[in-house]
Amino acid sequence: MTVTPKAHSKPKVAVYKFSSCDGCQLSILNLEDELLDLASVLDIAFFLEATRTVKPGPYDVGIVEGSVTTPHEAERIKEVRAECKFLVSLGTCATAGGIQALRNFARVDEYARTVYSHPEFLQYLETSTPISAHVPVDLEIWGCPVNKGTVIEALAALLQNRKPNFPPSPVCLECKLRGIICVAVAQGIPCLGPVVHGGCGALCPANGRGCYGCFGPSSAGNFSALVACMIPHDRYPNETANLLRSFSSHAPAFRAAADLALKAATGKETK
């Protein structure tokens, strides 16, 4: 799809925030070496965290950070979709619901009572859901937070009217490419690397710990096999399930695998 409306005019870009920590928007501001160049080829028409200037839509590209967690957001995302030709979900909140999707496995009213003395003042939905659960999304960029290189590749691809090159390989392959000794095999540390989308550069195994899944599920992952391997190595009750139920917990592959892990754990206890 082409996002450049006509030759010599800069595509109009809007950046929106939904429920999130602001970290993925910050990843755009953290493009210190590229930010001014980007501003010369893109018309940053709406980006509240960076500028007071608000140019009216429609926009060529909309970039959404965050998940949908309130009735207001559920309505607002439809308006966002209507004013953007090409819509990008930026980061694991927008692509999978984020850490706040842990409410999807609990009773959110109890959370509200735990945290706020007057939960009746609050407006929230029972679930935290990705942007794609509400409107069609044209491109998803995973990561908690997103990797700067991935953001640049996505924007460059949009400007050049090509598909972005996002390798489908898992974190496990990135470890091998970096020559990192496998933390799971060598040290028995639970690691989601074999089933998690690459893109971080295997940061956690490089730091001597297991992957905790912040880039979401890899399309090539064999989840049931991994869960079966991991459970015997749980270092505390339900470690495998907890790992799967953290930053990308609402992603379908993670949901199913976490259910499997919990079932296996319960089965073990009753034997």
Partner 1 sequence: MKTIEVPALARVEGEGGLYIGLKDGKVIEIRLDIYEPPRFFEGFLVGRFFQEVPDITARICGICPVAYQMSSVTALEKALDVEVSPQVYALRRLMYCGEYIESHALHIYLLQAPDLLGQPSALDLAVIAPDVVKNALRMKKIGNEVLKAIGGRSVHPVNACVGGWYRWPDVAPLQALLPELEWGLEAAKETVQWSLTLPYPALEIDYEFVAIHHPEEYGIMHGDVSSSKGNKTSVADYEMRYFEEHVQRSNALHGHTAFGGTYLVGPLARLNLNHAQLLPAAQKALKDAKLKLPLKNPYKSLIARAVELVHFYEEAIQLIKTYQPDGPAHLDLKLKAGEGCGMSEAPRGLLYHRYKIDDQGMVKFAKIVPPTAQNLPRIEADLFALAPKLVKMEQEQATLTAEHLVRAYDPCISCATHFLKLKIGEVGHD
The amino acid at residue 114 is T
Closest to 143 in 3D by CA, of 188, 90, 185: 90
Q: How many CB atoms lie within 10 A of CB 97?
A: 28
| 98 forms part of the interface with partner 1 (CB under 8 A) | yes
Decide whether 83 or 138 has the Cβ nearer to partner 1.
83
Query: Which of 35, 135, 182, 265 contacts partner 1 by CB under 8 A?
Result: 35
Strand partners, 16: 64
Report in angstroms how near the CB of residue 247 gets to partner 1 at its nearest: 7
Query: Which of 2, 9, 51, 160 contacts partner 1 by CB under 8 A?
Result: 51
Interface positions, 111-140, toward partner 1 (CB under 8 A): 111-112, 114-118, 121-122, 124, 128
Report in angstroms how near the CB of residue 54 gets to partner 1 at its nearest: 6
Decide whether 153 or 224 has the Cβ nearer to partner 1.
153
Q: How far apart are CA 211 and CA 183, in angstroms?
A: 9
Query: Which of 237, 269, 270, 271 contacts partner 1 by CB under 8 A?
Result: 237
Instruction: Tell which phi-psi region holds residue 22, choosing left (phi > 0), alpha (psi between -120 and 50) or beta.
Output: left
Q: How far apart are CA 84 and CA 14, in angstroms?
A: 8
Q: Give the CA distances from residue 135 to residues 73, 80, 132, 146, 236, in Å, rounded to whole numbers and listed in that order.
A: 12, 9, 5, 21, 39
Report in angstroms how near the CB of residue 162 gets to partner 1 at its nearest: 26
In this structure, which long-range contacts are made by residues 267-270, counting pairs with CB atoms below 8 Å and at least 24 apart in sequence? 268/231
Query: Which of 62, 145, 193, 198 contacts partner 1 by CB under 8 A?
Result: 145
Size of the site for partner 1 (CB under 8 A): 68
Q: How far apart are CA 191 and CA 197, in angstroms?
A: 13
Tokens coding 268: 């073990």
| 37 forms part of the interface with partner 1 (CB under 8 A) | no
Q: Which residues bind partner 1 (CB under 8 A)?
A: 17-27, 29-30, 32-33, 35-36, 39, 44, 48-54, 69-70, 72-73, 98-100, 102-103, 106, 108, 110-112, 114-118, 121-122, 124, 128, 144-145, 147, 200-201, 203-204, 206-209, 212, 214, 236-237, 239, 242, 246-247
